[in-house]
Structure 1
Amino acid sequence: MSLSRLLNRDNVIKVGLLLWLTLVYMALWGDISVGNLLAGLVVATVVMVALPLPTLPGSGRFNPLPLLQLVVVSAYYALESSFQVAWLAVRPAPTPVSGVLRVNLSTRSDLVLVLCTDLLNLIPGTMVLEIDRQRCVVYVHVLDVSSDAAVDKFYRTTRRLERLLIDGFERPVRTSPTEVSR
């Protein structure tokens, strides 16, 4: 069997998952030893065989620079909104107006759609209520929609997170020469 066949995408993902599950097993036991390593490999193998994950279509790519930016940006948004939620809880004013906003996403990937909704759920003050995959629309409950500026900020945040996810996981759309000349 050739090396390129061994290193195909599915095999690399399976080995990565096996190693991850083994590390989780060892972390749960809190002991780094050969016995725990071997037991972790056995448990991870049993889990992978008994509970196989569905395969995702392999049309994407992995670009680490936008993903590094995504980690920094999403951590910043989570901290910023945590302080905003805390301030809204203790300030001597009435509670803000909350509402449900519709976000039209431009992704072509189910993976990016799921990751984007997960990131939106991690930001305090927001909660994804519904996902319409066919239209690529997400309905999000937002804590503060009391002003146009607050709504615009939410949409800017969502667009930035989505753009970083698309840059990190999707292949660029190839345009034909006739599309470029129009």
Structure 2
Amino acid sequence: MSAERGPVRDTTVRVGILVWLTVVWLALWGDLSIANVLGGLAVAALIMVALPLPRVPVSGRLNPFPLPELILASAYYALESSLQVAWLAIRPKQTPVSGVLRVYSGTRSDLVLVLWADLLNLIPGTMVLEIDRRRCVVYVHVLDVGSDAAVDKFFRTTRRLERLLIETFERPTGWPYSRPPSPPEVTS
């Protein structure tokens, strides 16, 4: 990366955050006017100065080819699990067996790990309880672990989402990207 590209990137990120916070301000007010835009810019600047976000080291580049599959898979898993949770709530049987599963992560990027945890939290019936970055382990509470098939399906879902995130955001020098196999899944 050239010496001038770093400050340009920082400025671009700061302007993007300023614009995003202003858009949120306008959405909260529900009225597009000059006063609201100026007020939103002032509040956004105040937030950026008073509550600065830590810098997240980003490595790799955005690979747009797996991005549509990532978006579709995430939407599909969220819809599917929402319907499953709704069915579990209204069915006449007893509640399913829930538990905490340990998932090993194969990512080297903190950003990808956070995005993966966020996607898992968006799927109803799952909640990330702990991330052990040193050991690359994520502990996830899962609503239904009553059968081997349900546990296997959870691990397949997490592996697919992680693979898509890695392919989308972590691209080392090689093209196309290939990774060594992930460590085995161990349940607890």
TM-score category (smaller protein): 0.7 to 0.9
Secondary structure at the aligned position of 1:101 is classed as: strand
Q: Which amino acid aligns with 1:83?
A: L
Provide TM-score, normalisation by structure 1: 0.86
Secondary structure at the aligned position of 1:65 is classed as: coil
Q: Which amino acid aligns with 2:153?
A: K
Q: Which amino acid aligns with 1:50?
A: A
The alpha-carbon deviation at position 83 of structure 1 amounts to 1.0
Q: In the alignment, is the contact (CA less than 8 A) between 2:25 and 2:40 conserved in 1?
A: yes
Q: In the alignment, is the contact (CA less than 8 A) between 2:58 and 2:109 conserved in 1?
A: no
Work out the CA distance in 1 between the residues paired with 2:22 and 2:91.
Answer: 47
Work out the CA distance in 2 between the residues paired with 1:129 and 1:160.
Answer: 20
Q: Give 1 or 2 for the bigger CA radius of gyration.
A: 1
* Range with bigger deviation, 82-91 or 133-142: 82-91
Instruction: Write the mapping of 1:4-15 to structure 2, written as runs, cut at 5 A.
Output: 8-15=8-15
Higher helix share: 1
Q: How many residues end up aligned between the 2 structures?
A: 172
1:161 equivalent to 2:158? Answer no
Work out the CA distance in 2 between the residues paired with 1:60 and 1:87.
Answer: 41
Residue 145 and residue 6 in structure 1: after superposition, are their counterparts in 2 closer, same or farther (change >3 A)? closer
Q: Which amino acid aligns with 2:24?
A: V
1:43 equivalent to 2:46? Answer no
- Cα RMSD over matched residues? 1.9
The Cα offsets for residues 71-115 of structure 1, whole Å up to 9 and x where unpaired, read as 221111111111111212222322222211110010001111111
Provide TM-score, normalisation by structure 2: 0.84
Residue 5 and residue 167 in structure 1: after superposition, are their counterparts in 2 closer, same or farther (change >3 A)? closer
Work out the CA distance in 2 between the residues paired with 1:14 and 1:65.
Answer: 27
Instruction: Write the mapping of 1:13-162 to structure 2, written as runs, cut at 5 A.
Output: 13-162=13-162
Q: Which amino acid aligns with 1:87?
A: W
* Identical columns (%): 72
- Structure 1: gaps of 5 or more residues: 176-182
